A and B are shown apart, each in its own frame.
Chain A
Amino acid sequence: MIAILDPGIGNLHSVQHGLARAGADTVVIGDATAWERAARQGIRVDGVILPGVGAFGDAMFQLRHTGFIPIVRDTAEKGVPLLGICLGMQLLFDYSTEHGRHDGLGLLPGSVVRFGQGVKVPHMGWNNLDHVASNHPLLTGVSVGDYVYFVHSYVVQAERPEDVLASATYGDTVVPAVVGRGSVMGTQFHPEKSGDVGETILRNFVRLCTQSQTREVLA
């Protein structure tokens, strides 16, 4: 089962539909209480999706308010695959400067800043990936030149270049499109809205979740 954390901001149907098309069972979890209830019912979480729309500060507030922060940290520590989508990817980093400085989850080192002048903001639409670490299991079958659907006004500045698994270019800015270290991963674009390329990535994520489950069972 893949858990989608819903801090009550946005619409999660598209993520759910996308995962369903990728062959996964999903459960939407609204807060820490619902998470614990699911655990008591014996629901086994093989992977966690952290979506997000809206502003960074509001989203962190909601994560705190719903008691999700320790759950996300725990997920990362246990090595259960975690995928942040769009703002959810940005939340994985140390801090953002969106409407003042706000601390993030700090699971990956780096910050989130607004796009510079000279380009339309938000960066909205289909852009092609010009760098892809295709040997990464999340990106199997994804190639340089593939198009994915972005909608965002702020961009990640990863401290470790090796954490950037794929990127695109917008104006003069290199946009980290996929990030990851170990089981903590994120996509700046919306895989659930990125056609067949997005579906490939979701299928890869689902496979990673199943494999990690296998490992856990064997251990």
Chain B
Amino acid sequence: MLTKRIIPCFDVLDGRVVKHVGFLNDRRDAGNPVALAKQYCDAGADELVLLDISASGEGRLATRRVVEQVAAQTNIPLTVGGGVSAVDDVRNLLLAGADKVSMNTGAFRNPRLIQEAAHRFGEQCVVVAIDANLNPATGDYEVMIQGGKVTTGASVMEWAKQAEQLGAGEILLTSFRQDGTRDGFDLQLTRRVAESVGVPVIASGGAGRKEHFYDVLTEGQADAALAASVFHFAETSVREVKAYLRERGVPIRWLNNAL
């Protein structure tokens, strides 16, 4: 049976993993990305997502070296995103060793990027990341871009469907409201998107306890759940989450020798 996936995510700034501390833009060095990636891999993570948050070209080159090293040292799928706005960006990340490339603002501004990347490299490696925010006036979820700085007014459901039609192999859906709260995933959002598209949906934003993963993978109908700080701060571990899911009958990949 196809299993639900647990995906640790980390932010990479100029070649180092950083942790966001609290709600301020206070970032702390979280160490060597390759060592962390291996650690998650050994713990039974099903995939890794690495987001490049470098602003400068030099920072991006440093991140590219990290992608190369992580790809060489791990044996699970690796998705890389951050600042992807052209087919060449996709190509460069794939050449550095990414298995999939995540695109967000770049794809929203230029939807043909999805089509071109899917055509050239295959749909399986095109992940469209959508940051969603609830508009309380309409009750609809709207697409946010530029890391949540810009509200587009576009419907998340419509954009997700369009992205799928253009060739997205997967949707990485982040609830802007829940992100960083550790209050749990946005189940309603996740479920509505998962019901609207035929491609897998990765839920993101709000993981704080192992129960949250269970909720989003069952009631939320997500195919995978992504989390960052909850794993980095060791509030729960990949293994603990998986053990909990397994006890409750959620199909997951269980490694007896996981650390």
Name the residue on B nearest A152 (C-beta).
B124
Asked if B142 CB lies within 8 Å of chain A CBs, one says: no
- Interface code B26-50, partner A: CB below 8 Å = 1, 0 otherwise? 0000000000000001000010000
Distance, CA A10 to CA B120, complexed state (A): 8
**8 Å CB contact of A125 from B46, B71, B99:** B46
The answer to whether B2 and A126 touch across the interface, beta carbons within 8 angstroms, is yes
Asked if B125 CB lies within 8 Å of chain A CBs, one says: yes
Q: A126-B46, A193-B77 are in contact. Are A14 and B71 (CB under 8 A)?
A: yes
Distance, CA A10 to CA B5, complexed state (A): 24
The answer to whether B253 and A147 touch across the interface, beta carbons within 8 angstroms, is yes
Asked if A37 CB lies within 8 Å of chain B CBs, one says: no
In the complex, which residues of chain A have a beta carbon less than 8 angstroms from the beta carbon of B223? 120, 124-125
Asked if A160 CB lies within 8 Å of chain B CBs, one says: no
The answer to whether B2 and A127 touch across the interface, beta carbons within 8 angstroms, is yes
In the complex, which residues of chain B have a beta carbon less than 8 angstroms from the beta carbon of A198? 75
In the complex, which residues of chain B have a beta carbon less than 8 angstroms from the beta carbon of A128? 1, 3, 253
The answer to whether A194 and B75 touch across the interface, beta carbons within 8 angstroms, is yes
Distance, CA A98 to CA B253, complexed state (A): 30
Asked if A192 CB lies within 8 Å of chain B CBs, one says: yes
In the complex, which residues of chain A have a beta carbon less than 8 angstroms from the beta carbon of B121? 9-11, 53-54
The answer to whether B123 and A169 touch across the interface, beta carbons within 8 angstroms, is no
- Interface code A52-87, partner B: CB below 8 Å = 1, 0 otherwise? 011100000000000000000000000000000001
- Interface code A146-158, partner B: CB below 8 Å = 1, 0 otherwise? 0101111100000
Name the residue on B nearest A52 (C-beta).
B122
Residue pairs across A and B with CB atoms within 8 Å: the count is: 103
In the complex, which residues of chain B have a beta carbon less than 8 angstroms from the beta carbon of A126? 2-3, 5, 46, 253
Question: How many Å from the CB of A51 to the closest CB on chain B?
Answer: 11
**8 Å CB contact of A55 from B5, B122, B125:** B122
In the complex, which residues of chain A have a beta carbon less than 8 angstroms from the beta carbon of B46? 125-126
Question: How many Å from the CB of A160 to the closest CB on chain B?
Answer: 26
Q: Is chain A's binding surface mostly helix, strand, loop or mixed?
A: mixed
**Number of chain B residues whose Cβ lies closer than 8 Å to a Cβ of chain A:** 35
Interface stretch (choices B90-98, B102-110, B179-187): B90-98
In the complex, which residues of chain B have a beta carbon less than 8 angstroms from the beta carbon of A44? none
In the complex, which residues of chain A have a beta carbon less than 8 angstroms from the beta carbon of B119? 54
In the complex, which residues of chain A have a beta carbon less than 8 angstroms from the beta carbon of B4? 125
Asked if A196 CB lies within 8 Å of chain B CBs, one says: yes
Distance, CA A170 to CA B98, complexed state (A): 26
The answer to whether B3 and A147 touch across the interface, beta carbons within 8 angstroms, is yes
Distance, CA A149 to CA B4, complexed state (A): 12
**Number of chain A residues whose Cβ lies closer than 8 Å to a Cβ of chain B:** 38
The answer to whether B71 and A124 touch across the interface, beta carbons within 8 angstroms, is no
In the complex, which residues of chain A have a beta carbon less than 8 angstroms from the beta carbon of B253? 126, 128, 147
**8 Å CB contact of B200 from A18, A120, A152, A194:** A120
The answer to whether A53 and B124 touch across the interface, beta carbons within 8 angstroms, is yes
Question: How many Å from the CB of A164 to the closest CB on chain B?
Answer: 19
The answer to whether A199 and B1 touch across the interface, beta carbons within 8 angstroms, is no
Name the residue on B nearest A153 (C-beta).
B123
Asked if A215 CB lies within 8 Å of chain B CBs, one says: no
Distance, CA A149 to CA B3, complexed state (A): 10
Question: How many Å from the CB of B193 to the closest CB on chain A?
Answer: 13
Question: How many Å from the CB of B64 to the closest CB on chain A?
Answer: 12
The answer to whether A193 and B120 touch across the interface, beta carbons within 8 angstroms, is no
Name the residue on B nearest A145 (C-beta).
B254
Q: A151-B124, A193-B77, A195-B75 are in contact. Are A170 and B99 (CB under 8 A)?
A: no
The answer to whether B97 and A14 touch across the interface, beta carbons within 8 angstroms, is yes
Name the residue on A nearest B251 (C-beta).
A128
Asked if B224 CB lies within 8 Å of chain A CBs, one says: yes
**8 Å CB contact of A13 from B71, B122, B198, B200:** B71
- Interface code A97-122, partner B: CB below 8 Å = 1, 0 otherwise? 00000000000000000000000111
Asked if B243 CB lies within 8 Å of chain A CBs, one says: no
Pairs across A and B, CB under 8 Å, 10 listed: A18-B75, A54-B120, A120-B198, A121-B199, A123-B2, A124-B200, A125-B2, A125-B223, A147-B253, A195-B75
Going nearest first, the 3 A-B pairs with the smallest beta carbon separation are A11-B94, A53-B122, A151-B124
11 new A-B contacts, CB < 8 A, other than A123-B2, A124-B124, A193-B75, are: A9-B120, A10-B122, A11-B99, A13-B68, A13-B95, A17-B71, A122-B200, A124-B170, A124-B199, A151-B169, A199-B75
